Amino acid sequence: MPIQCETFWKKMPPVTMGYLIITVCMYLSCMIASIALDNWYYSARVFDWLYLSPKQIFEHGQVWRLLTPHITPQSFWSLICMSMYVVFISFGIERAIGSARFLILFLLVCLLSSLITCAISAFFGLMPGISDWDYLANWWDDAACTGQTAIQLSLTIMVFRAMKLKRTTFCCFDMPIWLFYIILIVMCQLMMWPMWYGIEYNVSAIIIGFIVPVKFIKVSAINEFLSRTNPQYSQPGQNADQENLVREIKAPEAPKQRRQDKQWGSKGRTL
């Protein structure tokens, strides 16, 4: 049966629930500390120790930065919008493939996203000639918060690959799946400030979405979950029993209808 909004939070899987709680607590703790100290600069300083910084990771050994950027919201509105999207998509995947497998997938996405971002930043930020451009040179030194963007992009692409979708509906418009990918990437990029900042973060998430094997997320389990929660979605052959039952119910109606037509015809001839 479809997922009910009133029971959604009660049925939320543990990994998804834990991720949501940690993300909210990370944001609120820094905000409360800033208000208590009457110094908003304190919040910025705390976030600076959590953001993704390739230079700090590889030159100073601050390895926690490989994970903390993905649980640190960029802003209040980012916390609201991105958390809701990630929670809903994570809910379905975790219920379909199990909490243990989803936890491994979640950590894999976070670590690979950070490592690929560092590799891209090192290439463009340290390569002689290329690093002469100020915009690219800052990629290695900057500390930035990726938020839930990498998880959103990666999981969305993985699920669509698993479902083998060719087309989808977005904002009431039917479109090819590749066009939806472009729109999703542009929307994630527009959430950056400035808008042309952090391209390498989104690129790394896209790479992960396409390189992680689809078999890892159990295609059959996701299809079964979708057919169970969304009556309009079904795979070929899933509703064969229901179709046979409908045919059996409708089959006796045809002779009955013919008998009625014959009776009316005989009455007409008698008249």
Digit-by-digit pLDDT tens for the chain (271 residues) are 455 666 666 778 889 888 888 888 888 887 777 776 666 555 566 777 888 888 889 988 889 999 888 888 777 777 787 677 777 788 888 888 888 889 999 899 999 989 998 888 888 878 887 767 777 777 887 777 777 788 888 888 888 888 888 888 887 888 999 898 888 888 877 776 666 777 888 888 889 999 888 777 766 666 665 566 555 544 444 444 444 433 443 444 445 455 555 555 554 444 4
Which position has the token pair 């996203």?
113
Under 8 Å between Cβ of 119 and 134: no
Query: In degrees, to the nearest 5, what angle opens at C-alpha 252 toward C-alphas 250 and 253?
Result: 65
Give the start-to-end residue ranges of the domains of the chain.
Answer: 5-229
Give the per-residue pLDDT at 242.
40
Give the per-residue pLDDT at 253.
47
Give the per-residue pLDDT at 243.
43
Give the per-residue pLDDT at 202.
84
Give the per-residue pLDDT at 168.
86
Give the per-residue pLDDT at 244.
45
Superfamily of the domain at 5-229: Rhomboid-like (1.20.1540.10)
Give the per-residue pLDDT at 111.
92
